[in-house]
Structure 1
């Protein structure tokens, strides 16, 4: 086993969701005050706009501070309606105390006690209603077919039973439990209906039923685990080890897969993007970023590049090619055409390649030929940052010579990547060059964060300005 999920909590307590919730709360309070003043529900209608803005800021800040103290913005405190009600109640108590303090200190001189009561009650009710709606919307989203992860459990011991109960009693999980595999049928009657077969049948069942996750609960069998790990990595299946630990031992492992921390899971690889909250944050960033880029470029750079391509050589403006994406699913990858029309589309470009046009050389040097791939990002075939999608023949070749190569296809490919900004771009004549790319891709996957994506984007822009030495 190579890695524990030591940094999992860091990603569970994401900063993106709390910031989003704070902005939402601020908007709610601002809207409530504007509506109340418009309909003369408040006596503080004679405030100057600037003063009213400052007062509104005080009210928003008071609510946010109360929420931070009461832990209402932490991800694990938003999973049920009961938790939302409980932590919102705690926040409201602190908020009430701060409002009273602001009133007594004459910071809110134009607001009567009735005004503050109206603001307080409407804020608490509105926030709870919005949170509840968001929770229902999120649960609905998680139940959509593309979010479901069929999973199986290997073993029928106490750890397997605990995991089974967790799957059965937690409807908000994206995992959809299919059954158990073990050497023999389980002893407990509760588990017998879920018994699927022996260990030799696991791989065939996974392939036939599209299994996405395997949880191994049996005592360590190094030979079988190695074989299972190789199979899982080849077919993009998550493999987690669920150890049989007592409560004291569980507390020593800073690695829980599930929300309440009752089920410790040891992973062969640290993969933050396997968590749905991280994947959704990355996808939301991709949509916003690619949408803004496409709007900006469509009215500025794209028409100029298109005209230059048509003037430079006959042929289409765009070039498209089937590339293997996440889980090896093929998609059409778009680029500006940089070569003369030819029949060698599966041959990698090399230095002084005669197929490359004069303007195409400039596009490649500055990476401007990749800009149409923002359309791929917008529709979900690619991400802004991720492992670069190689050609199909490269996939077949490198999968045979680099054992870790298929792992890079467990996440969405990117326009740019950690390997590219680290100096590994361009032709890969030698096998070691692709090995280095894979190393950087895996390092990116194991250390993903939104800040890392932004850093890679910034380095890519700098490289575009300087010009890529290996881009040809």
Structure 2
């Protein structure tokens, strides 16, 4: 199962770029504007406006395959919108009486520095990939035709983009091509991205490839050489002049969304740790110790983001036993202590996981992580189970508030859980997180009948 682990993704570059650009915007404002008045209002408003504007204009959506001309277009468009924003701000606040020439000088200086930074990072990453072979992704192509050969040529010619092309499979050669052998190759060679020619694969082959990608944490993209694919809701990109379609768009992967979710996790987890766990932990610890011998906290390995293992923490609710890492608690389980029944019913036993959130292993909301032994079983048995590992696991989730909490009694339970988890991953929003947290709190107060 270690084949599922992925890496080499530079997910922190965009949040860092946001921070540096905001420093430039506010730093130059000190030089041009902040000589005779308090800059706080300007800084707060212009920083918030920049983040909203950048999200709308997709200013930070620069990928390894993005062309320089596209980056220039993004910069020019952002500069024009930012200039209009500054003039509107100056007109709305008479207190900030900016001269037009001062605004223009400020905008030009700001965007000269931002453009310099953007292209510096862009070219440094390319040099890093060429010189050290870092920040790369292994690719294969399914299908051999004029368009797939053009894509293969793109990968081989432009190594600065960080793609290492391993193999192109000739799907129509029935003597040499076999999907099962292909799947073994994809896992053994640790392939990150699969590119499919839609016209080369049959519907049944396509469904098998989609299922394999979902269950093995592979990114799947398509070359749109079949008109039927345009009827689907897919993400459209260009590699040079070659159109590429992505099967699954995950909102949490967007830099702004990733930043918002992580910031919310840190703030929420810190609040719970400081204002609840600080006084509740000693009380629960005393009750646990009075009833049974053993540690206060229970540590268990779980699978998280990209299938990596981490230690998940809970208040101990059972008498120490050798089966805790193998079997879930069942209704009437004699391993559960009296104190354990109460803290499990009220979900107090889960509260130490807010430390996991603070450490970055978990999120407040996300698919619930399973025991490693169970994950290994479900990954082989339940279709699309591995899709849950495209995001961080959560203390609570959409499946848990929708009736799929606790013991997995039948395959129907885990299938329902996976269905809700995938819906959450593909439809995430901060408001959905808040709704899930609210419903979880209500369920904890009432007492969930599946919490035993």
TM-score, structure 1 as length reference: 0.71
For 2:54 and 2:296, the matched residues in 1 are separated by 52
Q: Residues 288 and 102 (structure 1 numbering): CA distance in 2 closer, same or farther, change over 3 Å?
A: closer
Q: Residues 374 and 135 (structure 1 numbering): CA distance in 2 closer, same or farther, change over 3 Å?
A: farther
- For residues 335-354 of structure 1, what are the structure 2 equivalents within 5 Å? 335-345=314-324, 346-354=326-334
Match in the other structure for 2:396: 416
For 1:354 and 1:281, the matched residues in 2 are separated by 43
Establish whether residue 158 from structure 1 lines up as the match of residue 146 from structure 2: yes
For 1:65 and 1:344, the matched residues in 2 are separated by 50
Match in the other structure for 2:408: 428
Q: Residues 74 and 182 (structure 1 numbering): CA distance in 2 closer, same or farther, change over 3 Å?
A: same
For 1:421 and 1:399, the matched residues in 2 are separated by 23
Match in the other structure for 1:6: none
Structure 2 spans left out of the alignment, 5+ residues: 1-13
- For residues 9-48 of structure 1, what are the structure 2 equivalents within 5 Å? 21=18, 28-34=24-30, 42=35, 45=36, 47=37
Match in the other structure for 2:310: 331
Q: CA deviation at 1:431?
A: 3.6
Q: Say which SS state the counterpart of residue 463 (structure 1) adopts.
A: helix
Q: CA deviation at 1:205?
A: 1.8
Match in the other structure for 1:311: 290
Establish whether residue 369 from structure 1 lines up as the match of residue 365 from structure 2: no
For 2:246 and 2:413, the matched residues in 1 are separated by 31
For 1:300 and 1:141, the matched residues in 2 are separated by 49
Contact 1:211 1:237 in 2 (8 A): yes
Match in the other structure for 1:394: 374
For 2:332 and 2:55, the matched residues in 1 are separated by 62
Residue from 120, 137, 162 that aligns with 1:149? 137
Q: CA deviation at 1:406?
A: 4.5
Contact 1:256 1:263 in 2 (8 A): no
Residue from 320, 323, 329 that aligns with 2:299? 320
Match in the other structure for 1:383: 363
- For residues 156-235 of structure 1, what are the structure 2 equivalents within 5 Å? 156-168=144-156, 175-182=163-170, 198-199=177-178, 201-217=181-197, 219-235=200-216
Residue from 212, 223, 232 that aligns with 1:242? 223
Contact 1:242 1:264 in 2 (8 A): yes
For 1:105 and 1:207, the matched residues in 2 are separated by 59
Match in the other structure for 1:10: none
For 1:279 and 1:147, the matched residues in 2 are separated by 22
Match in the other structure for 1:8: none
How big is the alpha-carbon RMSD for the aligned residues of Structure 1 and Structure 2?
A: 4.7
Contact 1:102 1:108 in 2 (8 A): no
Q: Say which SS state the counterpart of residue 424 (structure 1) adopts.
A: coil
Residue from 252, 255, 278 that aligns with 1:299? 278
For 1:104 and 1:258, the matched residues in 2 are separated by 39
Q: Residues 142 and 313 (structure 1 numbering): CA distance in 2 closer, same or farther, change over 3 Å?
A: farther
Q: CA deviation at 1:132?
A: 5.0
For 1:103 and 1:394, the matched residues in 2 are separated by 60
For 2:376 and 2:29, the matched residues in 1 are separated by 62
Q: Residues 335 and 149 (structure 1 numbering): CA distance in 2 closer, same or farther, change over 3 Å?
A: farther
Contact 1:66 1:95 in 2 (8 A): no
Q: CA deviation at 1:348?
A: 1.9
1:85-106 Cα distance to aligned partner (Å, 9 max, x none): 5444455456667767887999
Q: CA deviation at 1:220?
A: 2.9
TM-score, structure 2 as length reference: 0.73
Match in the other structure for 1:256: 235
For 2:48 and 2:419, the matched residues in 1 are separated by 47
For 2:63 and 2:215, the matched residues in 1 are separated by 37
1:250-280 Cα distance to aligned partner (Å, 9 max, x none): 877653353569424363xx35269575884
Match in the other structure for 2:262: 284
Count of aligned pairs: 429
Contact 2:193 2:220 in 1 (8 A): yes
Q: Residues 375 and 259 (structure 1 numbering): CA distance in 2 closer, same or farther, change over 3 Å?
A: farther
Higher Cα radius of gyration: 1
Contact 1:80 1:135 in 2 (8 A): no
